[in-house]
Structure 1
């Protein structure tokens, strides 16, 4: 029981049953695979290295679209 939980005697019957059902989830915490941290860091690194070029391509495409819209005379939708 943590500091923010009421004592067991202050709980209703439904709350006590719920607490019993939820104990299963707190007791059986699976250990993460050792390779999980490595995979997360590897994914973050390649995404970070690809982010800047993709943003540049997106900005370039937006600029081309804005230029074409100016030439054609269309209005940009807000």
Structure 2
């Protein structure tokens, strides 16, 4: 017959790693449960970055248009002066 202490030690030696593996698996499954929210958050963050880029580009275009419009009266003044000298 096998010694009861040896049998108990063998059972514990098998059970403890199995329980530890089960806990790790449950932790991973818990993380997967929140994966859609994480994906949505990352996706929304990506969309927000694209919107920021578009706004920045449009702001640069508007600033350029304003600078061009600010120069127009000066150009018109020069043209009017040229016409007056004719």
Per the normalisation by structure 1, the TM-score is: 0.48
If asked which structure has higher relative contact order (CA below 8 Å, sep 6+), I would say 1
Larger helix share, 1 or 2: 2
Per the normalisation by structure 2, the TM-score is: 0.44
When Rg is computed on C-alpha atoms for both structures, the one with the higher figure is 2
